[in-house]
Amino acid sequence: MNIKTKLNRMKGHLQLDKGLKETKFSNQQQAPEVEETVADDELTLKWSQLGFKPYVYEDQLSYEKRYTVPFDRMGKTNLQKELFEVKELWKKSDLDHPLSSKEVPLNRMLFFDTETTGLSSGAGNSIFLIGYARIVEEGVEITQHILKDPSSEAAFLYRFLLDFQEDDYLVSYNGKAFDWPQVKTRHTFVRNQVPRLPSFGHIDLLHAARRLWKHELPSCRLSIVEKEKLGINRGLDTPGSMAPILYFDYIHDKDPNHLKGIIEHNDQDVRSLVSLYVILTKRLFFSEGVKMSTMEHVQIGNWFEQTKAINMAKDHYIKAIDNGGNGREEAYFKLAVLEKKDNNVMVAKELFLKCISVGTLPKIEAMIELAKIAEHHEKDLEAAYEISRKAMGNLKKSARLTASSKRIVQDVEKRLLRLEKKMMK
Amino acid sequence: MFGKKSLTELISQLKSDPNVTHWHEIEEQPASIVPYPKNMDNRIKTALGKREIHGLYTHQSSAFEAVLNNENIVAVTPTASGKTFCYNLPVIQRHINRPNSRALYIFPTKALAQDQKSEINEFIDDMDVNINSYTYDGDTPANIRQVVRKAGHIVITNPDMLHSSVLPHHTKWISLFENLETVVIDELHTYRGVFGSHVANVIRRLKRICKYYGSNPTFICTSATIANPLELTEELIGEKARLIDNNGAPKGKKHFVLYNPPIVNKQLNVRKSSTKVVNEIAATFLKEKIQTIVFSRSRVSVEIILSHLQELVKKDLNRKSIRGYRGGYLPNQRREIERNLRNGETIGVVSTNALELGVDIGQLQVCVMNGYPGSIASSWQQAGRAGRRMDESIVIMVANSNPLDQYLFQHPEFFFEGSPETARLNKDNLIILVDHLKCAAYELPFERGETFDGTEIEEILYYLAEERVLHEQRNKWYWMNDAFPAHNISLRSAAQENVIIIDQSHVEKHRVIGEMDTFSAMTLLHDEAIYLHEGVQYQVEYLDWDEKKAYVREVDVEYFTDANLAVQLKVLDIDKEKQLGTSLLEYGDMMVTAMATIFKKLKLETFENIGSGPIHLPEQELHTNGIALSFSSDEITNMREDVVEQMLMGLAHVLQHVACVRVMCDKNDLHAVPEVKAIHSEKPTVFLYDRYPGGIGLSDTVYKQIDVILHDAIDFIDRCTCSEGCPSCIGIAGAYSDFEREVSVKKIILSSLNSIIKHKATTL
């Protein structure tokens, strides 16, 4: 690469900046700290080699990099098409779902991640890198802000807030518990110097990933989800856990190259969030070309059930039953319960029976449900008694009784007693 | 009614007991009540009226007026004198004056915080005001925490929580810190020594955060009786304060009895076990169904007494009516016991000092203490558990054989003529200070020229920057580390690791029988040591030094072990010195190195050496403050070396005990070492030093109070009934300066102490 051309291009920014700075200082009575200015120039030059431009706010500097990755360079074929597809899916649906972006224009979604100087959430933990991806016409625009040094926090957050609009929507990975509260903490320190922190909508994809894959993946860390579900292998990635040390080295040596790896890491993180949002949405809506496991269907069904989208839940349970394999028993049971609630008792009964037949050990809860149906709907006390007794037998076989299974045992015992009494009459 | 008569009978019965060495009666005192302060809101008066209260005790009224006048106060009042009104009333009034105002209550323990919350909430419910009070501690669920942070007008917490949770996350507590008007510190006297030094720094951090958010709270402290409540308050909060001690609460008649168990071994001056005596005394009251509380120092002894008492009264009462109470019980269990004590279902409770603090357990009639609780303040707090509500009550303290107890029993005036104890803390202990500077820098960057509540810290900040913990930029020091400093700093146990003693006599049931500080463990718990516990012999089978565990087994042997600890004191720097006759007293920085070398097995009756062995333990090092008392009179320099050695040993023993009483500390906090030829002066010297890295101000106090301490020492030895020295006074029995056994070491010690004092008198 031609470094000279690069440097020449940067030069303009440096001079521009210097100019700004000088006018600023010239307003003041006191002379500026000369040494610091010189040092800043050197540092700015080094940052420009990594693609970061300086911005001045009050007497502080902040560095920022912004560039657009064309859709075809995002490592996922048809990303643009898929994004529009996802957008349409939400637009058409009237589900009140945590992942929904129905009201949000595509270019207002901010796929967002930060790097910090520690994992604690206290006042001494600083954010030194904020990165986010936006969908623009030509592709995905990636913006990264760097905290030049701890005394430049106002400029850092100011530049970031300048870029934000009230109707922006955050998409993050664990941002609800970590990144955003941390942004709030940092904002508190400079709240008199920078604009107010707007209250954004926020979609946390970690919650979604946990829902879908916690049984399947060893952990739901982004790197693992990327590898298993997005097919991204980071190779020689700098792990996020190195971030604090690398930033301290940078502060000490004033050499931005220490942070090169972590900047790339953050860049990849926000890109992955875009793809992750796409594949999660497509799974919710059974989009074509998406292969899903039975367990995924069951988990999504569960999630829809909790968000009161019963029909969507049923669809996923049915799909899970069709798929077969691990998770089918659960799907039968869940579907049966829903049918029973809808008063389709006989359909429910069929499903409960199926549920019992597919499991290696018959599911106790299903047996109890069958007993209830026999007792209350079919008025067949003997059948109810018979199945309750079987359930009891199975319960006794399972060696360890937890608190919840103890409660079930008591329930079944009560049921048996009651049935006996009824039959005596 | 039957119970009451019986108490009077039992009291007169006890009066004729020959082992009672002192009987003190505290006369009843009527209440001293003044009308409500003028600026008190009517709603408060109404709420008080509902409780049949129509005026304030004098001290409550003074507190109210001072706080509303923005003065910091410390209220010193005995148990059950209505001290909670000293802070609750002004806090509520301030809320009425400015509904946005906040208050922070700091209690030393979680249990106390819970107790206080229900009390203040009951009171608020009686008024028509919108005050939210919440506890905030480790048990507070996450979803409640947010509410507390945003909407808590009164936040009730403990210093540990303030240190590790509230201050490091101050940005989440903006509404508290912006509007903080009052900080309440209850049980102030507990904040002394290492713990107090830590807490004083936490307060510095608190004030720094308040300043950042623009608030400047008033401090309301309450304390049990100590000699220097005002001084301690001002040290702790770093500000001037006003002392409020015009107690106006009524008191019932109280008998305070000192009971010294009979001597069972004359030669060694050993007395009957106090635990046994306590059992007997407590049982006599419990049999009459008189509510009794027994205090014992260790958790183990609580359990022992408890099982005895339950056995003794099993025919008369059901076992549940006598309960234990100590740390280690679950909170729910504790609450249940407290409730049962209040409603009278439980008539007897055996407790460690856990019940000493103001947890409300209602009215008890008898308090029995197994040994001196370690400080006068604790003694009075424990005694306050009996007769809280104006009835006649009795407090019986039963002495142990140990020198401290015996000393105090010779000097009952210590208890009854004001309090001689001084509570100390040293918030500028370098180690503690640096720890908290880290926390403070984490919370908020330091600016150049900024002090830590008055203490210059720039040098430390430079040092921390060099260590790359902080980073200096544009005249500010920023936290530059990925750690969360508060997590690595414990306010209570710092550097005070103890060795746990585990009895494995019964294979199926190993049990912990006690613990010991590491320094003492080197000589008492090394492999093969014979360890005495509650009069039972144990042999140490294995000392796991890394894990700090000693495994012992019960044995029955006719010898004991005596280990040789090579302690070396290097005086690093002398800060102050004074001449006392021919003796010199110095105070300064010291380095203590200790290494256990060998141990001897000595036959019980004859002290005959019947074997020995090596001890393999690493050398321990301690950098601290201490005093050195060195002798250069001809009388002493002309003595044989072994006599000088014995004399110094005896002196060290006495001075340590007497000094511990004066400076209000545990025996383990202030150590004494005799050296026949000290390295720094080449003279016979006794050292006393703080057993905590960096020192916590104990030996400094000893330096300042040396005259009284020397007087105390003379008095103590003089009054001991032994003729030639005994384990209770000088620590060694029957030592003489010559073969003719004419002059005992006891006499030599006395005369050397006297010569210092006398000289002092003439120079003055």
- The distance of A59 to chain B (nearest Cα, Å) reads 11
Chain A interface mutation, best of B149, B466, B478, B489, highest count of A Cβ atoms under 10 Å: B478
Closest CA to B702 of B640, B642, B636, B626: B626
Report yes or no: B296 and B370 within 8 Å, Cβ to Cβ: yes
- The distance of B179 to chain A (nearest Cα, Å) reads 16
pLDDT of B267: 65
Segment A295-303 shows an average pLDDT of 90
Interface check B38 vs A, CB under 8 A: no
Interface check B473 vs A, CB under 8 A: yes
Q: Are residues B697 and B635 in the same domain?
A: yes
Report yes or no: B590 and B625 within 8 Å, Cβ to Cβ: yes
Q: Are residues B158 and B225 in the same domain?
A: yes
pLDDT of A408: 82
Which chain A residues contact residue B487 at CB under 8 A? 120
- The distance of A186 to chain B (nearest Cα, Å) reads 8
CB contact under 8 A, B483 and A151: no
CB contact under 8 A, A123 and B482: no
Examine residue B96 and state whether it is found in any structural domain, yes or no.
Answer: yes
Range in A404-408, B200-204, B710-714 with the lowest mean pLDDT: A404-408
CATH number at residue B147: 3.40.50.300
Share of chain A above pLDDT 90, in %: 38
- The distance of A125 to chain B (nearest Cα, Å) reads 7
Which domain does B695 fall in, by range?
Answer: 567-597+619-763
What tokens does B566 get? 């090579």
**Pick from B244, B265, B298: which residue ends a domain?**
B244
Alpha carbons within 13 A on the beta-carbon side of A56: 18
Which of B171, B473, B482 minimises the CB distance to A150? B473
CB contact under 8 A, A123 and B480: no
If you measure CA to CA, which chain B residue comes closest to A181?
Answer: B172
Q: Are residues B356 and B264 in the same domain?
A: yes
Distance in angstroms (rounded) separating the CA atoms of residues A189 and A197: 12
Q: What is the pLDDT of residues A181-192, one digit of tens each?
A: 999 999 999 998
Which chain A residues contact residue B482 at CB under 8 A? 117-119, 244-245, 248
Q: What is the pLDDT of residues B312-323, one digit of tens each?
A: 666 665 666 888
- The distance of B116 to chain A (nearest Cα, Å) reads 28
A402: Cα separation from own chain's centroid:
33
Examine residue B534 and state whether it is found in any structural domain, yes or no.
Answer: yes
Instruction: Provide residues of A within 8 Å CB-CB of chain B.
Output: 36, 117-126, 149-151, 184-185, 188-189, 244-245, 248, 251-252
Chain A interface mutation, best of B163, B480, B489, highest count of A Cβ atoms under 10 Å: B480
What tokens does A24 get? 């600023």
pLDDT of B389: 59
Phi then psi dihedrals of residue B688, to 5 deg: -125, 130
Q: What is the pLDDT of residues B56-76, one digit of tens each?
A: 999 999 999 999 999 999 999
Which chain B residues contact residue A150 at CB under 8 A? 445, 471, 473, 476, 478, 480
Examine residue B2 and state whether it is found in any structural domain, yes or no.
Answer: no
Examine residue B613 and state whether it is found in any structural domain, yes or no.
Answer: no
C-alpha distance from residue B133 to each of B102, B181, B187 (Å) = 10, 15, 20
Q: How many domains does chain B have?
A: 5
- The distance of A220 to chain B (nearest Cα, Å) reads 23
pLDDT of B533: 66
- The distance of B68 to chain A (nearest Cα, Å) reads 31
Which chain B residues contact residue A182 at CB under 8 A? none
Closest CA to B575 of B641, B625, B632: B625
pLDDT of B420: 52
Q: What is the pLDDT of residues A350-399, one digit of tens each?
A: 899 888 888 777 888 888 899 889 888 888 888 888 888 888 888 877 65
Confidence of residue B341 (pLDDT cuts 50, 70, 90): confident
Confidence of residue A406 (pLDDT cuts 50, 70, 90): confident
- The distance of A153 to chain B (nearest Cα, Å) reads 12
**Pick from B391, B416, B441: which residue ends a domain?**
B416
Q: In what order do the strands lie in the sheet with B511-517?
A: B511-517, B498-503, B549-554, B536-544, B530-533
Per-residue pLDDT at B200 exceeds 90: yes
DSSP B102: E
CB contact under 8 A, B471 and A252: yes
Examine residue B614 and state whether it is found in any structural domain, yes or no.
Answer: no
Q: Are residues B505 and B571 in the same domain?
A: no
Segment B147-175 shows an average pLDDT of 93
Instruction: Please write down the HEC assignment for all residues of A360-392.
Output: CCCCHHHHHHHHHHHHHHCCCHHHHHHHHHHHH
Examine residue B605 and state whether it is found in any structural domain, yes or no.
Answer: no
CB contact under 8 A, A124 and B484: yes
Interface check B163 vs A, CB under 8 A: no
Interface check B479 vs A, CB under 8 A: yes
Q: What is the rounded average pLDDT for all residues in chain B? A: 84
Examine residue B423 and state whether it is found in any structural domain, yes or no.
Answer: no
Q: Are residues B722 and B585 in the same domain?
A: yes
Chain B interface mutation, best of A125, A127, A157, A246, highest count of B Cβ atoms under 10 Å: A125
Q: Are residues B115 and B173 in the same domain?
A: yes
Confidence of residue B759 (pLDDT cuts 50, 70, 90): low
Phi then psi dihedrals of residue A223, to 5 deg: -60, -35
Q: Are residues B17 and B89 in the same domain?
A: no
Q: Are residues B353 and B440 in the same domain?
A: no
Which of B473, B482, B487 minimises the CB distance to A149? B473
- A:B CB pairs within 8 Å: 68
Q: Are residues B706 and B736 in the same domain?
A: yes
Which chain B residues contact residue A149 at CB under 8 A? 471, 473
Confidence of residue B186 (pLDDT cuts 50, 70, 90): very high
What tokens does B667 get? 């025996």
CB contact under 8 A, A123 and B443: yes
- The distance of A180 to chain B (nearest Cα, Å) reads 13
- The distance of B489 to chain A (nearest Cα, Å) reads 15
Which of B172, B468, B482 minimises the CB distance to A117? B482
Amino acid found at A51:
G
Interface check B146 vs A, CB under 8 A: no
CB contact under 8 A, B485 and A124: yes
CB contact under 8 A, B443 and A149: no
Range in A321-330, B45-54, B327-336, B358-367 with the lowest mean pLDDT: B327-336
C-alpha distance from residue B224 to each of A368, B245, B294, B350, B394 (Å) = 63, 10, 20, 22, 20
Which chain B residues contact residue A36 at CB under 8 A? 474
- The distance of B589 to chain A (nearest Cα, Å) reads 34
Which of B170, B441, B484 minimises the CB distance to A120? B484
What tokens does A113 get? 């991640």
Segment A160-185 shows an average pLDDT of 91
Which of A36, A123, A150 minimises the CB distance to B171? A123
Q: Are residues B14 and B37 in the same domain?
A: no
Distance in angstroms (rounded) separating the CA atoms of residues B670 and B660: 7
CB contact under 8 A, A119 and B444: no
If you measure CA to CA, which chain A residue comes closest to B174?
Answer: A188
What is the number of residues in chain B? 764
Q: Are residues B219 and B155 in the same domain?
A: yes
Which of B468, B478, B482 minimises the CB distance to A150? B478
CB contact under 8 A, B471 and A123: no
What is the number of residues in chain A? 425
- The distance of B206 to chain A (nearest Cα, Å) reads 14
pLDDT of B418: 53
What tokens does A59 get? 């007497």
Examine residue B502 and state whether it is found in any structural domain, yes or no.
Answer: yes
Segment B36-58 shows an average pLDDT of 91
pLDDT of B332: 67
Q: What is the pLDDT of residues B363-421, one digit of tens each?
A: 788 999 998 887 777 788 788 888 755 678 899 999 987 777 887 788 787 677 655 56
DSSP B483: S
Closest CA to B587 of B749, B695, B668: B695
Which chain A residues contact residue B162 at CB under 8 A? none
CB contact under 8 A, B478 and A122: no
If you measure CA to CA, which chain B residue comes closest to A186?
Answer: B171
Chain A interface mutation, best of B212, B481, B482, highest count of A Cβ atoms under 10 Å: B482
pTM of the model: 0.76
- The distance of B164 to chain A (nearest Cα, Å) reads 10
**Pick from B367, B384, B416: which residue ends a domain?**
B416
Q: Are residues B187 and B263 in the same domain?
A: no
If you measure CA to CA, which chain B residue comes closest to A59?
Answer: B474
Confidence of residue A148 (pLDDT cuts 50, 70, 90): very high
pLDDT of B762: 43
